[in-house]
Structure 1
Amino acid sequence: MLPQLDDAAIEALLARLNHGVGQDALVLDEARRSAIKEYQNVHACPGAGKTTVIGLKLILLAEKWSALHQGICVLTHTNIAKNEILERIGTDPAGRALLSYPHFIGTIQDFTNTFLALPACRSTGIAVRRIDDAATANFLEGRLSPPARTFLAMSQQRKISDLRYRFENGALKLDIPGNPGEQTDSYKSMKAAKNAAIKNGFLFYSEMYAIADQLLVSNPAVAEAIRHRFPIVLVDEMQDTSRYQDEFLSRIFPNDAGIKFQKVGDPDQAIFDGMGDKPNESFNGAAVQLQPIPDSSRFTNSIAAKVRGLSTRRINLIGSRADLENAPACSIIVFDDETIGEVLPKFAEIVEALPASNRQTIKVVGGRADNEGGANPLNIQTYWPAFDRAQSQRTVLPSTFCAAARRCTELASGSVQAHTHLLRQCVVELLRLAGKTYVGRNGKDGPVTLSNLGRYLSEKGTTVRFNRLMAEIIMMEDLAAEHWANIANQLGEVCDVNIGTGDVVPFMVFSELPADLDGEAVLPGNVFSSPNGILMEVSTIHGVKGETHDATLVLETKFGTLYDVQEMLSFLIDSDLERPVFDPEHPKTNPSIRASFMKKLYVGTSRARHLVCLAVHKDRISDVQRQALQEIKGWAIVELPPVPAI
């Protein structure tokens, strides 16, 4: 019998977690309690504490779980979301039980590979070495004949990445790009290259789903066995799950299977709609009934009231963060063709009015990164020509591992993602100092890097211990010398490193001070330094999804003939207006583009704790709109003065 969760169990857990916490005690309202006790699908607004709710539910289930060979399956869309859940439960005595058999926490791709595709491959003698689109495409590219290369180069529609298997009518079918005749050299070369890739174990991500589908059709008992193994399934970040993935999961866990299946996410933030795979309908669909969690601890109620009209599903957004005293007003910066270059400096002037402790994370975002064609483009580069979307992050490591750990525990700024990235970088540095290497799948010996660290740990059999240790470091409240000694010893064991020899010793010593805030572990390359000294990271809206900022500026950009901020002004004024509808069959029609604008601007404007600003051209905001935004919604209108004539 499955565990039953009730208010008494929730109160007991909260009492345990809140012991000694004081005013920061965790409190759950009825909407969050309902999401924990029941299995209805949940629409969690930005900053709703979705991961906390999921973590609490999993801990409660773990406390009551007694089955030895049945477990809970938690699926996510990305490794970032998976790691956030692992960090939430990894430090709890009961929660740690969920990190191993019979439970599973991973991405939908991991689930597909582990329980379906990889066993199917092994049963047919395929030794899978690499599941990766780029690596597989490179392998195929390197084995094409010159005529085949020429054939593919003749059309942009012919891509080597399309040389893959798909599942159709009960069988696997190989797609040959460009459909050359079977007797041509191009066909034979591509077919031979694909055979070589399979023989050497190189597969595309989508091919694992195709192999899994074939297994499910040929052996229906497999799905039945999975349902028996996992009587409870929870899917996080459901809004980003594609229609194909959703339908795939539905074939394994149909509604009438008697499985407890819960989906959690925010369909208002499904900004990947139209970027390839079609969006799911079971969660993102306009007619789907979801249980809302509408109040956010991220931002103030003033911000919530201003951006509420951008919610596609009309969630009654509420902000519970307290307003700062004498904080600058959320502003709309109005520019013209001559003053567009002054938008970022003006935003920096507005930000400067925030208290220094409340302007640590400042971001400028836009929907379009650069000039992708079209007349009179408007994109991030138009405002700041130095912006480079391909620019990689620069890394500045602290002098000791302990300083990095203390940076993660003692300083409130920075996301869990950034802290995890910093700690993993330090692990790679530890392995470098220890002279550790990793034999790649090409048989060559090389250094351990961020990209192969997971495989290095997997071969050592220490992945679970490593994840627990990373979570423990991030969740620590303080870091004493004796505590660090224990952590350092565990790091040595997990990484197979002697921490008492050579260059490892000074890197692993105890440090009383955290890494300097100015030496941020992950310093993005696209940083605008304003004349008043305010540093602002510039990014696409996609790039900041899931983040929290102190202040955010959303730049107006253009797609086709439409300008995103201009199109959304009416919704900022009147939240009762009928919403535009995205049509996945026609993603580039104006209604679909407007629907995409709404979701992107909702994501962009819901990142900030204290200050949200917009930038719009003076020709695309009317006097009536200015007055309504000021008098009804409380926005400040900031007109950039004309550039003086030289």
Structure 2
Amino acid sequence: MTDHPTIPEVTDEDIAWIADTMGLDDLDGDRRAFLKRTGTFDVSACPGSGKTTLVVAKLAILARKWRHPTSGICVLSHTNVAREEIQNRLGHTPVGHRLLHYPHFIDTIHAFANRFLALPYLRSNGFPSPLVDDDVAKAFRWNVLQGQERWNFENWLNNRHTSIDDITFLDSDLSVALTSRDFPAGPHTATYQRAKRIIVESATAGHFRYEEMFVWAECLLEQFPEISVSLSRRFPLVLMDEMQDTSQRQAALLASIFDRTNGPCFVQRVGDPNQEIFKSGQEQNIADPFPDVGEGRTMSIGSSRRFGAPVADLANPLAIVPIDDGGLQGSGPQRAAAFSDHNRNLIIVFPDNNTDGVLDAFGTHLLETFDDETIAIGDCVAVGGVHRPAPEAIAAGHAKFPRSVEHYWGGYSPEVLKSDRHPKTLVGYVHHAQIMMRMSGDTAGGIAHFATGLKRLARQIGKPESTLERTRKHMAIRGVLAPIPDALARYDQFVNTFLIAMTPVTEEVWPGYAQQFRELAGQLCQGDINLDAGAGFLAWEDPQADLPEPGVAQAHTDNVVNVSLGDREVSIRLGSIHQAKGQTHFATLLLSTFQNHHSSEKIVRWLTGEKLAGIGEGVQNVSRLKQSYVAITRPTHLVAIALRDSAIAANRAQALEQLQARGWEIRDLLLIVAEN
């Protein structure tokens, strides 16, 4: 490689500095090797290995020694966890500030593709300032057809088990497709032409889904292949986090820009192939598989700081890709470690047609095993692979029962805590920003959410300034308003009053602020504006009835079941495995749910130790095993699994003996039912 900006060397002194700065304890050989390693390589990091913290530590060391004013580090992932970790751990330091600004770029894969490729392509081809959002695009597309034509079209789609929400395009010709398959009619048909009209009008208006932006990114690279070289020199070091969840299309795009074989940049990818339960798009990454199979280009971190040896031993057989050096190792938890080696991890066997005692059994077991102070270390959670209700009626006795999380507790709602990311009004953004901050303490996220709403208002009034397309909307708005001190002061006053001091916004005061925001939105636009527009978006909307009181944390208030034992009580929060990924719990219960098969029946041979890894398994069971692995590697102290009796019915006594030999404690609800 020539003219490659030098990547700083990481020394023992650098590691000592970042360990002190971030409060990192006992960085072992594998972790120190990751921090020091240069060049292109992949790292497979097990659950609880602290990989995001390690990524941030490495970034901080490199940024502190970085000497290239126009070339930076590019960090890509599916979420902004790395950026949030930098803000939380290093926000008070100069190096943290440096990392979050030019020449470095830390954001999602979608944001990277949009900023450097898709948006420049669209603007240069005469598209309006695009609004990239699945929900907004879907809402627009639902309204393209009207009356009888729309009714006929919806009915046709419903009969083919799809809807307008699934309509998309996969190439620059806007050829119609569905998100998971081809469109079920040929281009010559009237039905196809209706779908084509929906897509064309949506594109003309600038409304796109997130995945659709990769079409335009690919177009730019196809027309100007030299951009790949420019970007690889702009970012001589690329760090990709959560690489296991990268789709085929994303991987192919990134590989075409950042050549991991011939440079001119270094690419370091981090992830865990055993935790691949999300798919961005419908395809797995086979374009540039992770981890690399090249000799010397892969390392692993198989020691978890989250849990101890008992949980690691039970989870290890479910790892689809075997972990080097003796499998998954547990070297945690850091808090109340003495209580984690109890060997009371639990299997709850329940009757096929009765789940009533499952949550009670889990809660009672926790109260019997731990004192209140220890349980208070973290959340106690019950999760399932399926958490949304079925369109068909399923009750006890049905072959698919229990199908979803709701079958363990009738009060479960999959919509609880689901953020309304696109309120119908600007004041709805204010209400929701306050909910976000009261639930999580994420002030920056709440302010950014409100700033996104103000940008939506600007779009209705005119054409927003191009700087508002930046990810950090709040700072972009302040930048546009900076030459207008009175306007900037009004904006800052609102943020300080309602989004920092958290003063409730009322129906009485809103009209005055609505007029101010109408004027501010006009000042955020370029060219002609229409200040009479946006009346509906500026209308008053009541806050949600369950808006938390100021200062009241949201934990243990929704989808929570309380279980008592004497005068003691434990709260169990219910949710989905996908929601739980990335979380750490005190104790986790994996519920049996149904998708093609009952999950407990399909994983029981891994729980007994009869089977290891995923060799020879079909796609469905590989996915099921990965979800189970994610679920049972969430807890610091105790893991439990609910098994339908049919999972072990073929040879019940032998199965129970095998489970106990593996270290599981058994709570057999069938015996309790029989006794009663």
Query: TM class, shorter-chain normalised?
Result: 0.7 to 0.9
Indicate the larger mover: 229-238 or 9-18. 9-18
Matching of residue 2 in structure 1 with residue 6 in structure 2: yes
Q: CA deviation at 1:393?
A: 5.4
Write the distance in 2 (CA, Å) between the matches of 1:166 and 1:136. Answer: 15
Residue number in structure 1 paired with 2:372? 356
Shift in alpha-carbon separation, 1:128–1:528, aligned structure 2, 3 A = same
Do the aligned residues in 1 keep the contact of 2:83 with 2:106 (CA within 8 Å)?
yes
Residue number in structure 2 paired with 1:467? none
Matching of residue 277 in structure 1 with residue 283 in structure 2: yes
**What letter matches 2:34 in structure 1?**
A
Q: Secondary structure at the match of 1:78?
A: coil
Q: CA deviation at 1:113?
A: 0.4
The partner residue of 2:673 within 637, 640, 643 is 643
Residue number in structure 2 paired with 1:376? 400
Residue number in structure 2 paired with 1:487? none
What is the CA deviation profile of residues 390-447 of structure 1, one whole-angstrom value per residue up to 9, with x for unaligned ones? 334599xxxxxxxxxxxxxxxxxxx999635476458989x9xxxx997253349xxx
Residue number in structure 2 paired with 1:48? 49
Q: Secondary structure at the match of 1:601?
A: helix
Do the aligned residues in 2 keep the contact of 1:74 with 1:235 (CA within 8 Å)?
yes
Write the distance in 2 (CA, Å) between the matches of 1:256 and 1:500. Answer: 50
Q: CA deviation at 1:530?
A: 2.0
Matching of residue 197 in structure 1 with residue 202 in structure 2: yes
Give me the identity figure in percent: 28
Do the aligned residues in 1 keep the contact of 2:42 with 2:290 (CA within 8 Å)?
no
Do the aligned residues in 2 keep the contact of 1:369 with 1:540 (CA within 8 Å)?
yes
**What letter matches 1:628 in structure 2?**
Q
Matching of residue 520 in structure 1 with residue 553 in structure 2: yes
Write the distance in 1 (CA, Å) between the matches of 2:210 and 2:498. Answer: 42
Q: CA deviation at 1:159?
A: 3.9
Give structure 2 stretches of 5+ with no counterpart.
Answer: 178-182, 393-397, 421-435, 463-469, 482-487, 505-547
The partner residue of 2:609 within 571, 574, 577 is 574
The normalised TM-score by structure 1 is 0.77
Matching of residue 347 in structure 1 with residue 346 in structure 2: no
The partner residue of 2:492 within 474, 493, 496 is 496
Q: CA deviation at 1:123?
A: 1.0
Matching of residue 333 in structure 1 with residue 360 in structure 2: no
Residue number in structure 1 paired with 2:25? 26
Indicate the larger mover: 358-367 or 82-91. 82-91
**What letter matches 2:33 in structure 1?**
S
Indicate the larger mover: 498-507 or 142-151. 498-507
Matching of residue 258 in structure 1 with residue 282 in structure 2: no
Write the distance in 2 (CA, Å) between the matches of 1:578 and 1:123. Answer: 50
What is the CA deviation profile of residues 342-370 of structure 1, one whole-angstrom value per residue up to 9, with x for unaligned ones? 01011111111312233231101112225
Q: CA deviation at 1:503?
A: 12
Shift in alpha-carbon separation, 1:552–1:252, aligned structure 2, 3 A = same
Q: Secondary structure at the match of 1:497?
A: helix
Residue number in structure 2 paired with 1:298? 306
Q: Secondary structure at the match of 2:628?
A: helix
In the TM superposition, 1:429-468 aligns within 5 A as 439=457, 441-443=459-461, 455-461=473-479
Write the distance in 1 (CA, Å) between the matches of 2:341 and 2:119. Answer: 59
Q: CA deviation at 1:84?
A: 3.1
Write the distance in 2 (CA, Å) between the matches of 1:164 and 1:117. Answer: 16
Q: CA deviation at 1:618?
A: 3.0
Q: Secondary structure at the match of 1:245?
A: helix
Do the aligned residues in 2 keep the contact of 1:81 with 1:237 (CA within 8 Å)?
no
Q: CA deviation at 1:571?
A: 2.0
Shift in alpha-carbon separation, 1:93–1:443, aligned structure 2, 3 A = same
Write the distance in 2 (CA, Å) between the matches of 1:642 and 1:286. Answer: 51
The partner residue of 2:647 within 598, 620, 642 is 620
Shift in alpha-carbon separation, 1:518–1:92, aligned structure 2, 3 A = closer
Shift in alpha-carbon separation, 1:302–1:494, aligned structure 2, 3 A = farther
Matching of residue 312 in structure 1 with residue 353 in structure 2: no
Do the aligned residues in 2 keep the contact of 1:348 with 1:534 (CA within 8 Å)?
yes
Do the aligned residues in 2 keep the contact of 1:331 with 1:612 (CA within 8 Å)?
yes
Q: Secondary structure at the match of 1:217?
A: helix
Indicate the larger mover: 9-18 or 288-297. 9-18
Q: CA deviation at 1:261?
A: 0.2
Shift in alpha-carbon separation, 1:37–1:285, aligned structure 2, 3 A = closer
Q: CA deviation at 1:134?
A: 2.0
Do the aligned residues in 1 keep the contact of 2:43 with 2:270 (CA within 8 Å)?
yes
Residue number in structure 2 paired with 1:586? none
Residue number in structure 1 paired with 2:588? 552
Do the aligned residues in 1 keep the contact of 2:319 with 2:626 (CA within 8 Å)?
yes
Q: Secondary structure at the match of 1:277?
A: coil
Q: Secondary structure at the match of 1:521?
A: coil
What is the CA deviation profile of residues 357-392 of structure 1, one whole-angstrom value per residue up to 9, with x for unaligned ones? 332311011122255468333232222232222334
Do the aligned residues in 2 keep the contact of 1:132 with 1:205 (CA within 8 Å)?
yes
Q: CA deviation at 1:520?
A: 2.0
Residue number in structure 2 paired with 1:110? 111
Shift in alpha-carbon separation, 1:516–1:310, aligned structure 2, 3 A = farther
Residue number in structure 2 paired with 1:35? 34
Indicate the larger mover: 264-273 or 618-627. 618-627
Do the aligned residues in 2 keep the contact of 1:333 with 1:615 (CA within 8 Å)?
yes
Do the aligned residues in 2 keep the contact of 1:5 with 1:36 (CA within 8 Å)?
no
Shift in alpha-carbon separation, 1:613–1:220, aligned structure 2, 3 A = same
Q: Secondary structure at the match of 1:153?
A: helix
Shift in alpha-carbon separation, 1:387–1:544, aligned structure 2, 3 A = same
Write the distance in 2 (CA, Å) between the matches of 1:427 and 1:113. Answer: 18
Residue number in structure 1 paired with 2:541? none
Do the aligned residues in 2 keep the contact of 1:363 with 1:537 (CA within 8 Å)?
yes
Shift in alpha-carbon separation, 1:634–1:507, aligned structure 2, 3 A = same
In the TM superposition, 1:59-98 aligns within 5 A as 59-98=60-99
Matching of residue 241 in structure 1 with residue 213 in structure 2: no
Residue number in structure 1 paired with 2:212? 207
Q: Secondary structure at the match of 1:341?
A: coil
Matching of residue 538 in structure 1 with residue 538 in structure 2: no
Q: CA deviation at 1:180?
A: 6.2
- C-alpha RMSD of matched pairs (Å): 3.8
Q: Secondary structure at the match of 2:414?
A: coil
Write the distance in 2 (CA, Å) between the matches of 1:183 and 1:338. Answer: 48
Do the aligned residues in 2 keep the contact of 1:371 with 1:377 (CA within 8 Å)?
no
Shift in alpha-carbon separation, 1:437–1:192, aligned structure 2, 3 A = closer
Do the aligned residues in 2 keep the contact of 1:554 with 1:614 (CA within 8 Å)?
yes
Number of paired residues? Answer: 563
What is the CA deviation profile of residues 179-229 of structure 1, one whole-angstrom value per residue up to 9, with x for unaligned ones? 466684x56655554443333221222221111111111111111111110
Do the aligned residues in 2 keep the contact of 1:626 with 1:637 (CA within 8 Å)?
yes
Shift in alpha-carbon separation, 1:518–1:86, aligned structure 2, 3 A = closer
The partner residue of 1:323 within 328, 338, 350 is 338
Write the distance in 2 (CA, Å) between the matches of 1:500 and 1:250. Answer: 44
**What letter matches 1:312 in structure 2?**
I
Write the distance in 1 (CA, Å) between the matches of 2:49 and 2:199. Answer: 46
**What letter matches 2:370 in structure 1?**
L
The normalised TM-score by structure 2 is 0.74
Shift in alpha-carbon separation, 1:224–1:500, aligned structure 2, 3 A = closer
Q: CA deviation at 1:546?
A: 0.5
Indicate the larger mover: 600-609 or 84-93. 84-93
Q: CA deviation at 1:309?
A: 1.0
Q: CA deviation at 1:91?
A: 3.3
Q: CA deviation at 1:155?
A: 2.7
Q: Secondary structure at the match of 1:611?
A: strand
Do the aligned residues in 2 keep the contact of 1:364 with 1:553 (CA within 8 Å)?
yes
Do the aligned residues in 1 keep the contact of 2:176 with 2:199 (CA within 8 Å)?
no
The partner residue of 1:223 within 223, 228, 251 is 228
Residue number in structure 1 paired with 2:149? 147
Shift in alpha-carbon separation, 1:118–1:595, aligned structure 2, 3 A = same
**What letter matches 1:496 in structure 2?**
D
